[in-house]
Amino acid sequence: MDKPILDRVMPILCDPITGASLRKEEGQFISETGRFPIIRAVPRFVAGDDYVSSFSFEWNTHYRTQLDCFRSDRSSEEQFIKKTGFGPGDLRGKLVLDAGVGAGRYTDVVSRWGADVIGVDLSYAVEAAYKNFVDRPNVWIAQADIGALPFKPQSFDAIFSIGVLHHTPDTEAYFKKLVPLLKPGGSIAIWVYPKEGDYLIRNEWIRFVNKIPSRMFYAWCRWFVPWAQARLDRPLVGLVRRVFPFSTQGLGVENDILDTFDGYSPKYHGIHSPEEVEGWFHDMGLQQIRRPSDWKTCVRGIRSASHH
């Protein structure tokens, strides 16, 4: 049975290549120019998980680790508010795009706030997200590429993309593909990796580490992170931590294993200055551009109400 949110999704859906409207027929979405199957209940607008297979692996392995609804805390909600500046009242009843949904950490937050949320991801993380939100009538999940999304221009009241765009081949270009999807007056908030600290060090490692098969590197993270965390006061581990920064976020060892894997396994790892990110917002004519918190590369802006 279709979820109620589909009534809001159908009018904005389109063929990601031609822009032609889509209709739902016989277990697939069809336009005059293309067919997009629904496989295991998730619409697929891409043929595979392309360059993001590590995310397919990690989010289907850790499909509950970071979701507040399973953790019984508010860690993701607090982080979402800090990184976007959005509060519950800002998004209630709005149509919101989560660009790079993963297992649905932030979709969980925003859908509980009362927004209708469309979550897209290029990876098979969508299967984890679908499973997490199968009973939530205001969440719709699809596998799609941020570079060619199946939505018509000016469709969304708000868009957020937290920790995702730097994993695309071109952070700036992919950000700029999101902006036209905003309605006039709509808000967009993103966070990308800053060009500083541990992110700079990981940038040196990543081309070597992302060649390791995901399962092997994950097995190593499962051994290494708990081992190192139990020895943080030892000088050698202190040195290792400076040379190979691993996660110690205080949200439990499973989160730290996931976050360490996540930090070193992707194919792309863009790092950017706050000024650079703000420049993208200016380029796109966004207004009221601001950084919602001391996370320097979190930037938010509003599409001009007169923008056509």
Partner 1 sequence: MNTESRPGSVVIFGQVVLVSIYLLIVGLWLLIAGRIKAEGIGKIIRRPFRPPYAGELRDIQHDDGNCWIATLPCELLSDKDGASRLVVCEDDRLLGPAHCGHEDIREGGGGRFSHWGAQVYFSTRDNSDPRTNGRRYHVRELT
- What residue ranges bind partner 1 (CB under 8 A)? 60-61, 127, 131, 201, 204-205, 208-209, 212, 215-217, 219-220, 223-224, 233-239, 241-244
**Identity of the residue, 1 or 216, whose beta carbon is nearer to partner 1 in the bound complex:** 216
**Residue 151 or 261 with smaller CB distance to partner 1:** 261
Q: Which helix (H) or strand (E) holds 41?
A: none
CA distance 3 to 42: 12
Which of 183, 202 has the CB closer to partner 1?
202
Q: How far apart are the first and last CA of the chain?
A: 36
Question: CA torsion sign, 75 to 76 to 80 to 81?
Answer: negative
Q: Which is nearer to partner 1, 171 or 260 (CB)?
A: 260
* Nearest distance, CB of residue 95 and partner 1, angstroms: 29
CB of 176 to partner 1, least distance (A): 31
Q: How far is the CB of 156 from partner 1 (least distance, A)?
A: 30
- Strands (E) across 63-214 are located at 95-99, 116-121, 139-143, 156-162, 182-191
Cβ count near 264 (within 10 Å) = 21
* Token duo for residue 272: 């950017």
Least distance to partner 1 from the beta carbon of 228, Å?
A: 11
Angle separating helix axes 214-229 and 235-243, nearest 10 degrees:
140
Q: Which is nearer to partner 1, 20 or 232 (CB)?
A: 232
Q: How far is the CB of 238 from partner 1 (least distance, A)?
A: 3
Please report how close the Cβ of residue 126 comes to partner 1 at its closest, in angstroms.
13
Q: Which is nearer to partner 1, 221 or 251 (CB)?
A: 221
Burial 219-245 (b: 16+ CB within 10 A, else e): eebbebbeebbeeeeeeebeeeeeebb
